Structure 1
Amino acid sequence: MRRLVVACLAVCALLAGCGTTGTGSPLQVTDTLVAARPDRSPPTGTAPAGTVLPGPPADLSAFDPATHTLVLAGADRPALTLIDPRAPEQRSRTIALPSPAAGLHLTGGTVLAALPDHGSVARVDLRSGSVEHTAVPNRPVDAVETNGRLVVARQGSKDIAVLDGGTLVRTIGGFNGPARLLRQSRQEVLVLDRLATSLTPVNIVTGDKGAALRAGEGATHAVTDRYGRALTVDTRGGEFLAFATDPLILKQRYPVSGSPFGLTYDPTRDLAWITLTARNELVAYDVAGGQPEEKHRLPTVRQPEAVSVDPDTGTVYVASATGRGIQVVTV
């Protein structure tokens, strides 16, 4: 028995040491953290499903049902492109920004665009096109609003900033690469850290952080579904993950080959749409059951990095990051 106890203690010490080597993070074992990136797409061999509208290169997109506006952003374009898919013959609107956007979040007819190179978060009214800026230093990469406060993921200071009326009221640190924020409640957000490839619940009122969970080998995008879960794509590991959030527990893990990257969720049909950049494909999984069930698989435009959906009609919009257009698919 004594030998068994000693052996167990030795193993525990070894595991603890492995979990904290280098970075001090229990989720990483290396000093060199690299965020996952989408695979480069091959030339398209099959015509994209649906129709293709002209559009600029885009690696971010969002669809606002209230104004029926598709919002597009590109890593190299200091502007947002606004398109009404109902009237493709009309010219798209271009909203100039001081620098490219790194994150988009819709909030009641407006879109929040984090501008890391400008050190601000832009609030764009989708009806009027007016823009208001809130100064947020240290490279903001994503922003959401909850309980009347602006919550911002900051790459430069590796933290989450909470602002009230434009005034910084709290910072929550201890991250490696906070990249995406999911609003969970009036007091809590979920932080996707692309470098640590983890999810962490954060209380923005108290500043408390919950226990983080590893999200595969290289998580890149996450959304919430109508069941309160966090749906995540592991681009490096080729998986689709579903986490319950109260408490944070991994509930589903499903293989998705082809470099899954873009992700959106249709709450009306319980479909998670994922783009596969290595295959120029779009796949939809029904997530209402005990495990994801594939419902659709369609060819896309080349380098499909951004996808969004109209929850009223089920129409899906896929944007090419190389400027091959905006694909419109109705299934």
Structure 2
Amino acid sequence: MQTRTLGSTGPVVSGLGLGAMGMSGVYGEADRSESIATVHAALDAGVTLIDTGDFYAMGHNELLLAEALRGRERDSYQLSVKFGMLRTPGQGFGGVDARPAAVKNFLAYSLTRLGTDHIDIYRPGRLDPAVPIEDTVGAIKEMIDAGHVRYLGLSEVDAATVRRAHAVHPVTDLQIEYSLISRAVERDVLSTLRELGVGLTAYGVLSRGLISGHWTAARGADPGDSRSHSPRFSGENVEHNLVLVAALRRVAEAKGCTVAQLAIAWVAAQGADIVPLVGARTRERLAEALPAMDLDLTAGDLAEIEKAVPPGAARGDRYPPAHMAALGVGN
């Protein structure tokens, strides 16, 4: 496994990270034993960066990871944890709380659930419109100074917010959706990150499976699967988007790889300061993703990929309207 450095001040991590959200029911029921086995397989393959959130199934994901990581040397992996998004009974969302007192409260619970004395990268899951980012970052800085957190991260904010946060304490990385069909980060955020020496961890590199090469219009999403509410997976949108995947498949076949590997490799090829996160829930999907980091994309390959999936070609927003309103950047 190749490694990459997160920003100019951050840690050295595996070139590919594991996003654990899908192991806690967001895409329908997941197999607990298989999820734990997948975490073990990722660690054994050299994956060190594991991303979670305290709001993923109301702490379930953190408890799952605590079980999967038990017995592993703590410095052999890095935990990236998001906080602040409030939940309600019935799996709903109730806004964001990033007040300084809440930051410390959320952190205390995460440390306990994860069974660790520190979080490697701690970040608000979304911007709290009622709290200046400087106040939130100031609280995380206190936790860094106290040894409970090692690095500051951000998630789904715009370039101006990155600058404001970075002025209080160096930001290690911004976690934001980035894929062949979600490229809003390229407009002004990516250049700002590079100017400031901030890394990028890219989630949604397969657009929740839509551009993995495994999704079909006939498959649909189960009621318990969040994709059943996603504009990109609905009606005519999904049919249009799968035409893009078919074009991408032709490029992948010519390259001798899978569609998923090509899509992951494309994100990784956008810069050595970018670390793709894959949301593999099974060892099979993880095994498919891992070789993507060794896929060498030439200028000709990148041109063919752009031709197959031009910027802005996808239909549908990446989240339902209520969730889009909380994002710092669009599609």
- TM-score normalised by L of structure 1: 0.30
Q: Which has the larger radius of gyration?
A: 1
The structure with the greater share of residues assigned to strand is 1
The structure with the greater share of residues assigned to helix is 2
Which structure exhibits the higher relative contact order, with contacts defined as CA atoms closer than 8 Å and separated by 6 or more residues?
2
- TM-score normalised by L of structure 2: 0.30
